Amino acid sequence: MRIIPAIDIIEGKCVRLSKGDYNTKKIYHENPLEIAKAFEDNGIEYLHLVDLDGAKSQHIINYKALESICTKTNLKVDFGGGLKSDEDVRIVFESGANQITGGSIAVKQPEVFKGWLKKYGANKIILGADCKDRKIATSGWLETSKLDVVDFIKKYEQEGVKYVISTDIAKDGMLLGTSNKLYKEIMNKSNVKLIASGGVSNIEDLIQLKKLGCEGAIIGKAFYEGNITLSQLKELC
């Protein structure tokens, strides 16, 4: 299982939210590049980078942070948040991203998202399937649709999607454990490579996700609050 630390960015700074609520913003570091280098120095190969400003805007905003990390580390970065157009995707890949994650766009403009799949290939495009009470959420989690998360994933699997990041918003940033029942259902009902996100509180949560068969696990607040250390991540990797 791939261990994938997350860096969420608002105004160029490394932050974390609780349950996606922008009013709960806590700044952990002024310079995301320094955090990224620390991950790389401890054996991490992958990074989940989220433009939270872009997520609730009409376009990406913090792509300069992506460019800085990609040019000054060897991390394989997947980038999400605010990808609303072909131009956004072009900028992100030219800035060095290894993969992109599209969530809101897959709900609101499915033909655009399918076009990205066709142009760049399923290994480059991750479906973001973030949900609240099983319903897909969009626009930086500020809006909730009527789409069931498992049905949503199965539909896009038929369109060729291979990689899915799924976050249970109720768990995100709460350090209360992961939504293993939901993840198990997703893997039982589809063949996607599932990357679990939200709720990881300690190393044991990661072990359980690996046992479930997740392809990857994203770590956020558990690292920033010291529940999981860099040395533990190094040992896992």
Catalogue the active-site residues: 8, 130
* H and E: helices and strands count for the chain: 11, 13
Q: Which structure tokens are listed for 194?
A: 């599932």
Kindly tell me the sign of the dihedral angle through the C-alpha atoms of 61, 64, 65, 71: positive
Q: Which structure tokens are listed for 213?
A: 């068969």
∠ CA 51-9-22, rounded to 5°: 90
Tokens 């039982």 found at:
188
Helix/strand/coil for 9: strand
∠ CA 144-92-195, rounded to 5°: 50
Tokens 């030219």 found at:
94
Tally of CB atoms within 10 A around 80: 27
Kindly tell me the sign of the dihedral angle through the C-alpha atoms of 164, 22, 8, 140: positive
